[in-house]
Structure 1
């Protein structure tokens, strides 16, 4: 598993925990829905701006997302 895949798994987990659609996450974070889909599938590299924007909408601190990604990567 690479960083992009782990990031996608983590943001999808938080999004689904909040019963939020990709469209709602995209709208709130000022991103395109297809970009959210690509992130969740590990097909795009998130920027620091993307991380902060998504974490704000998901109401999760950015460091928590990074920590969860790191935890997933350590499992491999």
Structure 2
């Protein structure tokens, strides 16, 4: 899996763990909802600053969004 797709999967997973909608995450990260949607689908290649804002909004460390999770 490429890193952009992995990021999208992890953003969606973390967002759902926090019980947030895309709209809530976008507002917390000061982004458009469509940008969050694109990230989750792996069609956006975010900047490091955007990655940091998403991680802050999710209250996690940025590297968590880039870690490949084992398939269970």
State the TM-score, normalizing by the size of structure 1. 0.85
Q: Which position in structure 1 is the counterpart of 2:37?
A: 37
Q: Which position in structure 1 is the counterpart of 2:3?
A: 3
Question: Which protein is richer in helix relative to its size?
Answer: 1
Question: Equivalents in 2 of 1:5, 1:62: separation in Å?
Answer: 15
State the TM-score, normalizing by the size of structure 2. 0.89
Count how many residue pairs are aligned between Structure 1 and Structure 2. Answer: 71
Question: Equivalents in 1 of 2:2, 2:33: separation in Å?
Answer: 22
Alignment of 1:1-76 (within 5 A): 1-66=1-66, 68=67, 71-72=68-69
Runs of 4+ in 1 over 4 A off after TM superposition: none
Which string of whole-angstrom CA distances, capped at 9 and with x for unpartnered residues, describes residues 4-53 of structure 1? 11100001000000110000000110100001000000000011011110
- Structure 2 unaligned regions, length at least 5: none
- Structure 1 unaligned regions, length at least 5: none
